[in-house]
Amino acid sequence: MRICREYGIGYIDLAGNSLLKFESVFIKTEGKPNPFVSTRPLRNLFSPKSTRILRVLLENPEQEWYVKDMAEEAKVSLGKASNVKQRLLDYEYVVEVPGQRKMKIRLTDPERLLKDWADNYSYLDNQLFKYYSLENPREIEERIVTFCKNTGVKCALTLTSADARLTRFLRSAARSYIFIEKPLEPAASYLGIKEVDSGENVTMMVPYDEGVFYALQEVDNLNIVSDIQLYLDLQGYKQRGKDAAEFLLEQRIKKKWQT
């Protein structure tokens, strides 16, 4: 519309915005929103493999990245990384900066990107398997991590299990949540727990993408998801999860970004 006005050309769009000016006729309508806007590019930005790129950027918000290096770090194809880069530029999550070989990209507002991602994610997107155990949840977590280390299976604590060892915001949450690779039967057999339909206190979560294991942190010899992944998971957790996520953001994530 701006270009048309600059060149004195009339226009009308499908929302009803228009400028018709000829002879004694002058009609101008503006301010009507686009009823056909597509959100597909934004949804694609938060698809499983695309979010591997987001993890790399959010873990290193001040770093400048060539697309090739970003693709290698995120374990995605060069084409995928290029597409994600363009969408990030389109939505002004990143800016281009000069590099020695080509242009690099750098995050402009990591908090906005993280919160927009959280709006498009739920820990329920993963496969959840419910179990019950008579043991203390913290002891169960130690045993399952030991089992995984001994058998070469990837696993990491999240939600209440991670919170109990990082911020302790959810003080009364006596439940375990563990990301773990399939098959689950060996781990369940080792722990002596059985799958249940309700009343569970142990939830094994098969990841929607292996990116959940990116930037794991170790606390008390236990694998815990990154603060970024924990923030995402907590945002969808009903028992004060949003409050715990914001506390994590203020007390840990932002402080890391500022160092």
CA 253 vs. chain centroid, Å, equals 14
Q: What confidence score (pLDDT) does residue 39 get?
A: 47
pLDDT in tens, 200-248: 999 999 999 999 999 999 999 999 999 999 999 999 998 899 999 999 9
The single-letter code of the amino acid at 119 is D
Span 149-204, pLDDT tens digits: 999 999 999 999 999 999 999 876 689 999 999 999 999 999 999 999 999 999 99
Enter the DSSP assignment of 65.
B
Count of beta carbons in the 10 Å neighbourhood of residue 193: 22
pLDDT of residue 36: 61
The pTM of the full predicted model, rounded to 2 decimals, is 0.82
* H/E element, 116: helix 110-119
Query: Mean pLDDT, to the nearest integer, of 24-29?
Result: 87
Looking at the domain that runs over 40-119, which CATH code has it been given? 1.10.10.10
Strands (E), 67-216: 94-98, 103-107, 127-132, 155-157, 176-180, 194-195, 202-206
Q: Are 78 and 67 in contact (CB under 8 A)?
A: yes
Strand, helix or coil at 14? coil
Question: 154 to each of 49, 66, 117, 200, how far by Cα in Å?
Answer: 18, 29, 24, 22
Tokens of 101: 């070989």
- Identify whether 207 is preceded by a cis peptide bond (ω within 30 of 0): no
pLDDT at 6 over 80: no
Confidence band, pLDDT 50/70/90 cuts, at residue 21: confident
Provide the token pair at 243: 């409050």
Nearest to 161 by CA among 114, 120, 125, 201: 201
Phi/psi at 225 (5° precision): -60, 160
For 172-185, letters b (16+ CB in 10 Å) and e give ebebbbbbbbeebe
Q: What is the pLDDT of residues 39-74, one digit of tens each?
A: 455 568 999 999 999 999 999 999 999 999 999 999
Domain assignments of the chain as residue spans, ordered by start: 1-37, 40-119, 123-258
